[in-house]
Structure 1
């Protein structure tokens, strides 16, 4: 879509908003006049779009005849996001007969694909889009930013780590005396196996009439939201596995201090933080010292963050992400409070491979005039240092 068409489409969208606003304001006559202008603008846009499609068809014919040549020097045009998104939309549209693809679009899609081909217009999302998805995936509720993330290029593998052990001093050796054999370091293997996660989005074919930029932005936000939720769930499950059976009851400030002062190794405590949900944060935020001062204080280096005991960053997650355990029989709620260093405790092995495929004949998509868009993501989450994280539990009564 060229610049002129994009400008006209923007004007059409603005006119649509104007018509809706006039209707909301009960200016019906003005709304009808604006709607007539909108119809005229839409017809002009459709005419120009059909001409562009015709030009694309002519360009394809010329290419088949050998008339099209690469720019001087044999250099290809740079693959910008606008060119890529337009090619993706045209490819999706071609699958349902709503768009036409020229040779440039086909070459972009061909160059962008890194693995596999789908008979009905399968598309593999290139790395520049993956980067944008990663950016959108970041949020306060993104646990991936707190754990160790290791990019991998294989579907399975292992990492060797040193087992935690007490360090004993060297033995005394007399002059001309014999050296005794000492215990060698012990190691453990952390194995990972990349598995496939994914989901499907059903969208009306009218979505394809939107601009390429809007479609890609919509898809990326949806993909980012789903991948963030999926990775959060796997990380939380991993932490739950590490701490299962070793939870610590937290009832006051002293029990929290026991975790950081005694239960965590000093080296881990130095880089530790706190992760809890809204309920747990609310409980922490109400704690006061003997002089009536609240324990949580703003971080001088980051006013949006609180510190526990003036040194441990507190990360508040949504109750939807990190759930409160509800026991209706005992009339209690239990808030989770994770203390420690998640980067030392958990590693996410990221295959960094994501695919997006489309089909108009998947399931009920054909019957309902929809386009099915399927997303795959591949990664694995494994525990590494099980002593680097401790789960505290705050149990409160809900009995009236």
Structure 2
């Protein structure tokens, strides 16, 4: 028997089996509806088993039929793929007919108990997970959002430059501060019992200062204070204190920028200023912007060792060539990305006339809230113009070996 004959015989057998399915379905339903005893239910179950067996035989016969057709096609995997799609279409049509008939038409349907067996490929057919699947945005209303009510402070390099200046308490709105100049005069040599020669008089320079008032206030509603999940007054007070610190730092930085300017393109330039230009009597501190500090951090000695070292005695924890290094933001001595620094004796270089530093909080019944006021009164002046230099780093044009 050739393939065509096998297909014809198998098709006849499948047609006969499919014609029996409808009758068996009717018998099973009738037996179940009329069952009033265990024997009646047993008979219905037996008929159900007969129907399941018949459906299984039909499914097996359909697979064999497909095998025969694939062998005749002889086109390899593409034909198999097309036949697979055809088989899925037949299954889909059979399931649709079963649904529309409310279970009456079971041709081409495989049952497992009371459930219709649907091939996995048919379940996934035509479904694109990227477009048809459920993702987080689709169920956004059901996804909770965690909210933190304790604000995280933004990190920023902050150094209080005021502590390194010559701070004195100003008791008036303006005045003069005497600065004793360094003296180079030496004593005269005299013979025994000769009269003492005159000493050179100390030389003073008066630095004029005039207090400037910086202040501000912010009202806080009592409702915001009561209903806030955190200590709102503490947060606002901390912010106000930071604004005062920014104000004094800006004023001090403005004065530091007025000192004699020098360029440092190499480590030798920095050493020349430290060793020669600046009088040995002055203390030394480097106030460096972030960009200038980055250059300092790359300096090495002849053996390739980095010169910037950790130090427990330096306020910043860093030291270079025996000098403490303080780091501030670029914008305090210039613009972002510009490398500037002050090298010298900050305490001798600047005076800070401190008149008042006030933080006040009071209740105002008219607005049902509280006011927070901050005020600071001070002036910063250059005291000794020889006490330091304003440095700018420029890239060296000397070719590297």
- TM-score, normalized by length of structure 1? 0.53
Does residue 249 (structure 1) correspond to residue 263 (structure 2)? The answer is yes
Task: Work out which of the residue numbers 341, 354, 361 in structure 1 matches 2:358.
Answer: 354
- Residue 336 of structure 1, CA deviation: 0.8
State whether residues 274 and 337 of structure 1, in contact with CA within 8 Å, keep that contact through their aligned partners in structure 2: yes
Give the match for residue 295 of structure 2: 283
Task: Work out which of the residue numbers 214, 223, 234 in structure 2 matches 1:197.
Answer: 214
Give the match for residue 395 of structure 1: 394
Does residue 342 (structure 1) correspond to residue 346 (structure 2)? The answer is yes
Does residue 154 (structure 1) correspond to residue 169 (structure 2)? The answer is no
Query: CA–CA distance in 2 between the matches of 1:209 and 1:24?
Result: 30
Give the match for residue 376 of structure 2: 377
Give the match for residue 324 of structure 2: 313
State whether residues 359 and 372 of structure 2, in contact with CA within 8 Å, keep that contact through their aligned partners in structure 1: no
- Residue 194 of structure 1, CA deviation: 1.6
- Residue 357 of structure 1, CA deviation: 6.9
Q: Deviations over 1:32-79 (max 9, x none)?
A: xxxxxxxxxxxxxxxxxxxxxxxxxxxxxxxxxxxxxxxxxxxxxxxx
Count the aligned residue pairs.
248
- Residue 221 of structure 1, CA deviation: 0.7
Q: Tell me, what secondary structure is at the counterpart of 1:267?
A: coil
Alpha-carbon RMSD across the aligned residues, in angstroms, is 3.7
> After the TM superposition, which residues 164-175 of structure 1 pair with which residues of structure 2 at under 5 Å, given as runs?
164-170=182-188, 172-174=189-191
Query: CA–CA distance in 2 between the matches of 1:361 and 1:162?
Result: 53
Query: CA–CA distance in 2 between the matches of 1:301 and 1:181?
Result: 42
> After the TM superposition, which residues 166-315 of structure 1 pair with which residues of structure 2 at under 5 Å, given as runs?
166-170=184-188, 172-174=189-191, 181-201=198-218, 203=220, 206-210=223-227, 214-241=231-258, 243=259, 246-268=260-282, 271-299=283-311, 301=313, 305-309=317-321, 311-315=322-326
- Residue 253 of structure 1, CA deviation: 1.0
- Residue 152 of structure 1, CA deviation: 2.9
State whether residues 324 and 336 of structure 1, in contact with CA within 8 Å, keep that contact through their aligned partners in structure 2: no
- The higher-RCO structure (CA 8 Å, 6+ apart) is 1
- Residue 204 of structure 1, CA deviation: 5.3
Q: Tell me, what secondary structure is at the counterpart of 2:214?
A: strand
CA 1:315–1:302: 2 relative to 1, 3 Å: closer
- Residue 230 of structure 1, CA deviation: 0.5
- TM-score, normalized by length of structure 2? 0.53
CA 1:202–1:322: 2 relative to 1, 3 Å: farther
CA 1:372–1:395: 2 relative to 1, 3 Å: farther
- Residue 358 of structure 1, CA deviation: 7.2
- Residue 318 of structure 1, CA deviation: 2.0
Give the match for residue 80 of structure 2: none
Q: Deviations over 1:286-340 (max 9, x none)?
A: 112222221112125569622112x111111122434347xxxxxxx64112111
